[in-house]
Structure 1
Amino acid sequence: ALKSMGGAIVKAAHHVKAQLFEEAVEALDATPDRMELAAGHVRVAGDAARKVPVTALLAKAMARRGPIVGYGSTGAFNRLPSFACSAAEVEVDPDTGYVTLHRF
């Protein structure tokens, strides 16, 4: 799934980051292009003292407009088949049909 949906996940993460930066504009008195994420904070790049916790930005966004949600999609050309395999070691009682799972 990561191979086929990885691009969408990255796009959604960038979307969340952009929204966090927009929420931080007023608090940091800086434009989003000057911001970075570091150690749970949005901060002005090159100025570690000018920072605001991500949790504060999330609370501010929630109070003003609701939760920050990231959206991302992948095109049809990126869709790859997903495969999965599971294996189990079991014991079946031939008289009762009772199955005991030993390892999965």
Structure 2
Amino acid sequence: MTTFLEPPNEEANMLLPTFIDSRARLEPHRLFCVLINPDKKAGITTSMVSYGYYANSIHKCAWWIEKTLGKGLGLDTLGYLGPPDILYTVVAIPAANTNRKVIRRLYHHGQAKSQV
């Protein structure tokens, strides 16, 4: 059992991209999350996402961002139009790695709002 008096482990001081890469390198098959996919025909299905798969998705997205937009020049802004799910993190983390930030559009009761 962890108490507040114990020193934090090494991972507690890592930034999120470093933590994900570390876990992917040490335990690539370790479960990161389970995605639930409701489907009218097939019923509810699940997809298991490992740290290795998640880190690979982040690296591929970062490569695509740099290939398409070039090097970031000081927190350029990318727009994200999509649901607030795991794909948002697959865009937001590589955006930060390529010296960019992501703005997400929210729709609440018919009004568009921006959230950084």
Which category describes the TM-score, using the shorter chain as reference length?
A: under 0.3
TM-score by length of structure 1 reads 0.26
TM-score by length of structure 2 reads 0.24
- Greater Rg, structure 1 or structure 2? 1
More relative contact order in 1 or in 2 (CA 8 Å, sep 6+)? Answer: 1
